[in-house]
Every structure is written in structure tokens, then in C-alpha cells.
Homo-oligomer: A and B are copies of this chain.
Amino acid sequence: MSKLALFGGPKAIGDGQQLKSSWNQKSMEEGLCEYTGAKYAKCVSSGTAALASGLFAAGVGPGDEVLTVAYTWVATSGAILRNNAVPIFADIDPQTFTMDVEDARRKITPQTKAILPVDFYGHPAPIPELMALAEEHGIVVIEDACQAATAEINGVKLGSIAHLTAFSWSGKPIYAPEGGGAYLTNDRELFERGLLAGQHPTVIQGLATDPEVVKHASMGGTGDRMSPVGATAAIQQLLDADARTNARIRNCEYLTEKLADIPGITPPYVRSGYKHAYHYYTCLWAPDEYGVSRDRFCQALNAEGVYAIAYVMDANYRFAPESEPIQAGGPLHLRTMFQERNLYGKGCPFLCPHVKNPPVYREGDLPVSEEMARREFCLSQPDLSPPCDENDMQLVVDAIAKIIDNIDELKE
């Protein structure tokens, strides 16, 4: 229509427009802002560091309660404890494995300083509802999106929906072989204060504008820097993130279609308007259907060559060459740390004098979490992602069908 740019006309791709391939020319932090739409992003050394930085930014400290879930990886509570605050656990919704908003509402107290929902297995927590709840109480939502960096809610990427969002790159939907993570936010104050939790004083000096932050630049230097080579590798992953996630979603939808009619197996649910990143593909097993326990069924699956785990009860995967499977121990409230309530030998932070109502963590407190932990089984992201395709998924379906056909042999 208009004059060719070659001859002085307006550029077809102009006025701030550019192809997304330009991310390749930017820092991981700039690329993340473009990918998610968040205003600010800071790469850090791990997803845990991202969460801990976010909580620090929100002023979370001794005596504060942080409302979170026990149905998660241990790093969620690790970040809370690193800030010497007390995790208070809400139960989960049995369909999405994420925070139950009504239970969260019941557990908010005047001591609650932040809500820390987890986008567990890649399905976003109900962030809009939790943001509304937080607003009622004048507190912040720090979203643990470590397993869900490519997920969306109502067409919006995670990263700017909660007050602050934490990502991880360790084997996650955006994967960097060097690990690391990032926190993202639209709030300049949270962005700047988060730097104080673990960034190098000279980096804080280079990024912060708030005199109060600058004044404290030389405060900790706890070394939460993301590896520069890792950041370079992560940009390449960012370029492929949606293509890879979308291919995984197609694989998972294929599985769901084929598994839907098998009695005793409930494939994952996806809430309307939510994009599931499928870090894990998590089904529920009904032990009563065949009189066969979930663990026995998983053993049979593993024997057939399908890597299936009961993540919350028994995270038996390998993380590093020296790592060994662990018996994770179920939802966090049942694990040693919370039963003993003694991180540093003096009952801290649980029994700190600043804590108004020292929490007690009991079996039975979180009935849905406890039941799901007994019933879930998970297929993991590498087996669901490219180059795996329908043929690979059919192999998984065939293996499950073979077990169901021979289920009587598994009765104990």
C-alpha cells in the first residue's frame, strides 16, 4: 500500500516492532520481559533464590506468616524459612493440585504478610482469585512459577499477574543446563528491594534508583548471581519455549484422550482459560478400582520402561551425578523439618518470640493434600517433550493398557 522502505517509505516492521528472534540479541532479562510482558526481570542463581528474593522484597521476616501449600517441592518452604518467616499451609484443589482459595481465606491472619501459591506440575494456581484475596488484606502474592514459566492465564503469560513471580531453569519448562532462575514483577520497588537479598553490591548500585536500596547495597552479597554462560544458554531456550511447550501440550492431550476411559485412572484436569505447562503429567490412581496400590502400579510401569514417580511422596529422580533417589516424605507439613520445628537448633523460626501463634503441623491438617499424595503418579517433562511425539505417547498408552490387562497379577 505505502511506499517501499527501500525507497524511503515507512518500514513494514517499524515503530518499535520487531521479530521475536531479536531476543537472541538481548540479555536473558530483556528477553524475559518481552516474552512475559513483565516490566522488570532479574536473573538469579536458582528458583529458590528467586522466591527468597521476592519474599525479602516484600519485607517478609521473623514473626511473619506466609500462606503457602504443602503440596510442592521443598524449595517453596525453603525460601520462606531462609527469610525466617513461618509457612502456613493451605490445602489444595484436588483437580489442579494448586492452592484452595477458600482454605487460604480461612487461614489468613493479621500476621500473614504474603501469599505464596505454587503453579504445581505446571498448572497455574488461581492467581486472579488470590490477588483479589490479597488485596482485601493489603498483602502481596509471590507466585512460585518455577514449574510453569511457559504457562498462561486467560491468554496472559505468567510474570506480571501476581505482584512478583519466580521462575527456575533447572530442568524446567524453560531449561538452562546451568540452572538458575529469575524473578519478574511490574513493581519497581519490589524489583529493587529484591536485589538486596542476594545480588552483588556493585550490581545493586548499577540497577537500583531508590536511595534506601542504594544505601543498603553493601549489606549481604550472598552470591545469588546467575551464571553468565547459563544465561546465554537460557536465551536459546526462551526462543523455543512456546514451541516446545505447545508440542508437549499436544502430547499430553493425546495421552489424556487415550487414558480417559481407563477405569481407575484420572488424567490431569486443565482449568478453563488456563494454559498448563505440563512440567509433569499427573494422574490420579484409584487403588480400590482393582485392589492394587499406587506404588505397585508405578513399579509395574517402571518395569515396562515408563518412568513414573509419586513426586510428593517419593521424588526418586536424579538431579546431579552424585544424587540418589529420596523418599521425600509426602506433603511438607509431614516432613521432619516441620515435625521438629527446629531449623537452627533453638526452634527458630517457628517458635521465635516474634511469632504470635507458633504453628503446629499435624497429620490430617490437609486432607486433600494427604490423599492426593497417596494417589498421584507423574510422567515427567523430558518424556512428554520433543523429540517425543504421538508414537512415543502411544508406547506409554500401550504400556499402561498392558498393565491394566494383567492387573490381577499385581494384587498383593
* A345 adjacent to chain B (CB < 8 Å): yes
Closest CB-CB distance, A179 to chain B, in whole Å?
A: 6
Are B78 and A322 in touch, CB under 8 angstroms?
A: no
Q: Are B48 and A223 in contact (CB under 8 A)?
A: yes
Question: Within residues 261 to 303 of chain A, which ones have a CB less than 8 A from any CB in chain B?
Answer: none
Q: Which residues of B contact A250 (CB under 8 A)?
A: none
In the assembled complex, the CB of A352 is this many whole angstroms from the nearest CB of chain B, namely 8
Stretch of A16-24, A79-87, A121-129 at the chain-chain interface:
A79-87
CB-defined contacts of A138 to chain B, threshold 8 Å:
none
Contact: A79 with B222, CB < 8 Å? Answer: yes
A108 to chain B, nearest CB (A): 20
Q: Which residues of B contact A353 (CB under 8 A)?
A: 353
- Which residues of A71-101 have CB atoms within 8 Å of chain B's CB atoms? 73-75, 78-79, 81-84
- Among A81, A222, A345, the most chain B Cβ lie within 10 Å of the Cβ of A222
Given contacts A84-B344, A228-B177, contact A203 B323 (CB under 8 A): yes
Residues of B within 8 A of A315 (CB): 201-202
Interface positions of A from 330 to 363, Cβ below 8 Å from B: 335-337, 343-346, 348, 353-354
Question: In the assembly, what is the distance between CA of A300 and CA of B170, in Å?
Answer: 47
Candidates B215, B220, B227, B319; contact of A202 at CB < 8 Å: B319
A46-B222 in contact (CB<8A): yes
Residues of B within 8 A of A343 (CB): 61, 219
Residue pair A223, B336 in contact (C-beta under 8 Å): no
Does A248 count as interface, using CB distance less than 8 angstroms? no
On chain B, the residues within 8 Å of A202 by CB distance are 315, 317-320, 323-326
Q: Please, which residues of chain B bring their CB within 8 A of the CB of A337?
A: 216, 218-220
Whether A207 sits at the interface, judged by CB under 8 Å, is yes
A322 to B42, CA, bound (A): 11
Contact B335 A218 (CB under 8 A): yes
Chain B CB within 8 A of A329 CB: yes
Instruction: Tell me whether A221 is interfacial, beta carbon within 8 Å.
Output: yes
Contact B222 A82 (CB under 8 A): yes
CB distance from A65 to the nearest CB of B (A): 14
A374 to B132, CA, bound (A): 54
Q: Which of A205, A328, A335 has the most CB of B within 10 A?
A: A205
Q: Are B75 and A221 in contact (CB under 8 A)?
A: yes
Please indicate the chain B residues that have their CB under 8 angstroms from the CB of A218 in the complex: 74, 326, 328-329, 335-337
Which of B177, B181, B222, B319 is A78 in contact with, Cβ under 8 Å? B222
Query: Does A200 have its Cβ within 8 Å of any Cβ on chain B?
Result: yes
CB of B326 within 8 A of CB of A63, answer no
CB contacts (< 8 Å) of A346 on chain B: these are 61-63, 354
Residues of B near A45 (CB, < 8 A) are 45-46, 223-224
Asked whether A220 lies within 8 Å of B82 as measured between CB atoms, the reply is yes
Q: Within 8 Å of chain B (Cβ to Cβ): is A238?
A: no
Is A336 touching B219 in the complex (CB atoms < 8 A)?
yes
Question: Within 8 Å of chain B (Cβ to Cβ): is A305?
Answer: no
Q: What are the residues of chain B within 8 A of A52 when measuring CB–CB?
A: 222
Whether the Cβ atoms of A201 and B348 lie closer than 8 Å is: no
Give the 4 A-B residue pairs with the shortest CB-CB distance, closest first: A46-B223, A61-B344, A202-B323, A48-B223
* Cβ contacts A to B, 8 pairs, < 8 Å: A45-B45, A45-B223, A48-B223, A62-B346, A180-B227, A206-B320, A218-B335, A353-B353
* Interface contacts beyond A45-B46, A78-B219, A205-B325: sample of 8 additional A-B pairs, CB < 8 Å, sorted by A: A49-B222, A75-B220, A78-B220, A202-B326, A203-B319, A203-B322, A206-B322, A220-B337
